[in-house]
Structure 1
Amino acid sequence: MNGEAGAGDPAPRHLPGHIAAALARAGEAADSAGQPWAGRDLTGDGNPLHRFDADDGAPDARVESALAALASRGTEEAVHEALATARVFVPVVASLAEGGIGPHGFAEDKEADMALVTLSAPDGRKALPVFTSVGRLEAWHREARPVAVYAARAALSAVSEGAELLVLDPGAETTFVLRRPAVWALAQQRPWTPSYRDETLVPLVADAIEGTPAVRSARLEPGKGVVSRDAGGRILNGGGPGPELRIVLELAPGLPAEAVRGIVTELNNRLAGSKRFAEAVDSIEISLRTGGD
């Protein structure tokens, strides 16, 4: 997902009056993932959420540092950790509601509502754009109104809107995509480990290939969709929309194509049946290798 995609014709998601309505699920007993809200603390230094009276609209220093480090030894986890306590800006746009005929038979003026802006990712999934600064939001959409919220609240909004991705600073020098597991972890204020570094997934994959003698081994590594590029073309160690996890299978030599397809299909079916794997992994790619005798 790049800046040009964000600068297109974003589709507004209509809300009843204000962006707070997009966060209505926060008042329910549990979020969209079934996790209870009880016990979570989304406030900061006595400030109610999305109230930042003295905010100058500048980027959060920790987030900026974590994003800049991606060009060297930085990690996606560090960006996620910095966002956990950061303020971001969500763009909303004015949208005219339908007018009507008043009680005296005269046409009434249309009322203005606010609409939450969403995007479509390259794979068709819904994404919520958020911005680290007012300046970056205004450069992307001059008519959008910046609404300051904690990043955790923006993630809650994404979940309630059915958006699986958060796109940080679309159109800016550096654009970073948080994939679904990272968005859910941010919304629930939990630490997040990318699937390609999650050692708890290794035995799940081992169980999935058990009983398939044609598969000699399997290993996990970052998928080709993890890395991204900044506007200048530099490769960044994260922030891509996916696929995020590559499963490398070493197969016995001489297998016919039909047998290989059957192995891949069976592996996908077994992994899809694992709740833990489904929660931890946003998207996968399978790479096949043929080992010697």
Structure 2
Amino acid sequence: MLVACLSGCQPAGETRFQGYVEGEPVLVAAQQNGQLTSLAVQRGDAIQTGMPLFSQDQAVEAASVSQAKAQLAQTQAQLSNLATGKRPPEIAAIEAQLKDAEARRKLSVEQLARQQALVAKGFVSAESLDQVRTQLARDQAGVAQMRAQLATARLPGRADERAGAQAQVSASQAALEQSTIKLEQKSQRAPVSGQVQDIFYRAGEWAAAGQPVVSLLPAENIKVRFFVPETRLGALRAGQTVGIHCDGCEAPVPAVIRFISASAEYTPPVLYSEKNRHRLVYLVEAWPQPKDAARLHPGQPVGVSLNVSGQ
């Protein structure tokens, strides 16, 4: 309020305005409940994107991943079993039974031929011939049955069974992916490059899901907020470049205006008259380039001039 009031009391012709540096931190939170087992950064560290920040206890999530892998292997084996038919030893047993049935049929054929010759010579009755013919029919039916069983044994499972098994495999894969994601969420890495501004939990403490653990400040999130009197507001526009002056800075830091408030802020109780308009101040935000933002620090008081060179 003091900064705003002082800005409001500046003469109308003043080209340098008072303000301060502000940062918009990135809060990296725990995505799962758990105890912090490691903290890889300290306050003030400069880090790059992808560097590890902290980890939580992973025992439960690791066990879930192992369980999901075992379930996936089981469903894949079941699908493979339905796709290949019966096992080779089972097929070999059916083939042996088929050979036995074919041998019995061959014997019945030979017996029928002999009985027909004997009946023709009148040595045996026609009833004996009928019995042999009946036995041959049985043996032929046995051969047909074993051939059908062998063909069925070589076929894969029914289409509905295979579709159900494939659905189980897909469900197991999804469960494994979900468990893997939860395991990965127990270790957080830096989403952006910047400086560690603050740490809210230490190793050994319990961090709930959604609670920030580390605060990062990227250079591109550093901005300057300054206040302009109503009499100079018309000289500003979004996209305009201004100069930031700070103690110890050898040259002004260029920054681009991105935001101009549509209403007066922190104004003293004044009458809205032409005589007192210069006391109204408006908030303006300007953003320096990331390479220049390293020269500024959040909370630092600065001066802002409309002339980038500061002349």
TM-score, with structure 2 as normaliser: 0.21
> Which protein has the bigger helix share?
2
Structure whose alpha-carbon radius of gyration is higher:
2
TM-score, with structure 1 as normaliser: 0.21
Higher relative contact order (CA closer than 8 Å, sequence separation 6+): 2
